[in-house]
Structure 1
Amino acid sequence: MSVPSRLLPATIAAPVEHELVIRKSRFLTVVAPVASSEEADAVIAAAKKRHWDARHNCSAQVTGLLGDRARSSDDGEPSGTAGVPMLEVLRRRELTDVVAVVTRWFGGIKLGAGGLVRAYSSAVSETLDVAALVDRRVLQQVRVAADHADAGRFDNLLRDWVSRSGAVLGETSYGAAAEFEVWAPAGAVAGLQAEVSALSAGTVSAVDTGAERVIDVPR
């Protein structure tokens, strides 16, 4: 993986809903994490089926590791007043692998083009304000093998270290030794190696395997 982690858009941890009422029109928004444009389309289809009585189910989606695939739909609203403003909110928030669907029940009062743009933008923006964000980072694999008798000490050390280092714990396996897996930012590996060495008086090493992976890290 050659993409610097600072260039990777974030995503959200779980679906979230939010409702907004503007001049008697009801706007119900769902924003959901997705793994592909096909999953995003399925979320949109489900919203349309669920809210069959609504006049509009407008949508915007951004997918791909770099957020390089995007689509939007006004679903009957005047061109450019719904889907594109929604998409712009996702872009401004630097998100990917996410879909937003805003369902509108018309309240009898026309909002005008500018009012619709503000309404659909606000609907998505306010929903994202209550979403839990997840950062995408390119992390390196580090393995630590310790005697079973010392496994508890290293488990505590590693859990504490990842909590303050932007890293995540991977799998732990128990064979001839207790082997811990850590996914760490490249610039933090040396610090982990120093702490492991200090705890073991130099008898245990944190080995950088050279493997890299894009990992979702909750903020």
Structure 2
Amino acid sequence: MSDDAYLTLAGRGTARFTVQGSEFIGHAAPVDSVEAAEAFVDEIEAEYDDATHNVPAYRVRADPFREYASDDGEPSGSAGKPMLSVLSGRELENVVVVVTRYYGGTNLGVGGLVRAYSQAAKDAVDAASVIEQRPQETFRAVVDYDDSGTVRGILESEAVTFEADYGERVRFEIRVPVAEADALRDRLRSATSGRIEL
């Protein structure tokens, strides 16, 4: 894995199982900010507002790096911390997990809760599937039509994501891994003899 790459989730995942009558539903999602993580937590709490507990945990690449977990009324350290341990143990970043519990009438004890919440977090992460991600940066390049073929050719050969808008001039919206952005800008500048606007 390259220096700036990190592991996160490909998409959302859900998993459910029952332990001694209590139903556990794990929800996992990739996020790009603390706000997005909090919004996902709010969304699950709203959707499962009749649940006994909705326990959140997240790890977000922010400045500074943010880790958060709450037990949401479960005994201290029995729910949120074990879920956070699953995320950090797998070195996942920009990820949020919420485990919903419907109480089934039997107390599971702290050990039982730790196992159940950990399992629900693991299963939800597995359902979402883990991918390697690299920090991306977006920039715009504007050229005259004469240079647009050259620029497009370079972008396609570099296999970066871009969208082209053909107006009076051609505007490219380019998404590229941060680590490669400067080199790509230099290449575009030299290929167009500096006529490109970045």
1:81-115 Cα offsets, whole Å, 9 max, x none, are: 10001111111222223221100112223322222
* Equivalent residue for 1:20, pick from 17, 24, 30: 17
Report the Cα offset of residue 131 of structure 1: 1.4
Q: What is the distance in 1 between the residues matched to 2:109 and 2:89?
A: 24
Q: CA shift at 1:27, angstroms?
A: 0.7
Q: Kindly indicate whether the alpha-carbon contact (under 8 Å) linking 1:10 and 1:94 is maintained by their aligned counterparts in 2.
A: yes
Q: CA deviation at 1:74?
A: 0.8
1 CA distance for matches of 2:2 and 2:138? Answer: 11
Of the three residues 115, 118, 134, the one matched with 2:115 is 118
2-structure distance, mates of 1:93, 1:30: 16
Relative to structure 1, is the Cα distance of residues 93 and 205 closer, same or farther in structure 2, using a 3 angstrom cutoff? farther
Which letter does structure 2 place at the counterpart of 1:172?
Answer: A
User: Offset of 1:129 from its aligned partner?
Assistant: 1.1
Residues 112-158 of structure 1: CA deviation (Å, up to 9, x unaligned): 222211111111111111214350236798x7x8976994x985785
Counterpart CA distance in 2 for 1:139 and 1:56 is 38
Rounded Cα–Cα distance in structure 1 between residues aligned with 2:58 and 2:175: 32
The answer as to whether partners of 1:29 and 1:100 remain within 8 angstroms in 2 is yes
Q: Distance in 2 between matches of 1:56 and 1:139?
A: 38
In 1, Cα distance between equivalents of 2:25 and 2:193 = 49
| 1:55-204 mapped onto 2 (5 Å cutoff) | 55-65=52-62, 68-132=65-129, 133=131, 135-137=133-135, 151=149, 158-159=155-156, 161-162=158-159, 168-174=160-166, 181=174, 183=176, 186=180
Which of 17, 40, 44 does residue 41 from structure 2 map onto? 44
Q: Could you tell me how far 1:183 is from its partner in structure 2?
A: 2.7
Aligned residue pairs, count: 190
TM-score (norm. length: structure 2): 0.70
- Counterpart CA distance in 2 for 1:182 and 1:96 is 20
Segments of 5+ residues of structure 1 without an aligned counterpart are 163-167, 197-203, 212-219
Give the letter aligned to residue 105 of structure 1: Y
* CA positional deviation for 1:75: 1.1
Q: Which amino acid aligns with 1:183?
A: V
CA distance in 1, matches of 2:98, 2:82: 12
Cα displacement (A) at 1:178: 6.5
Length-normalised TM-score, structure 1:
0.65
SS in 1 for 2:134: strand
Alpha carbon RMSD of aligned pairs, Å? 3.9
Which ranges of structure 2 fall in alignment gaps of 5 or more residues? Answer: none
Distance of 1:176 and 1:43 partners within structure 2: 41
Structure 1 residues 80 and 149, CA, compared in 2 at 3 Å: closer, same or farther? closer
AA partner of residue 91 (structure 1): S
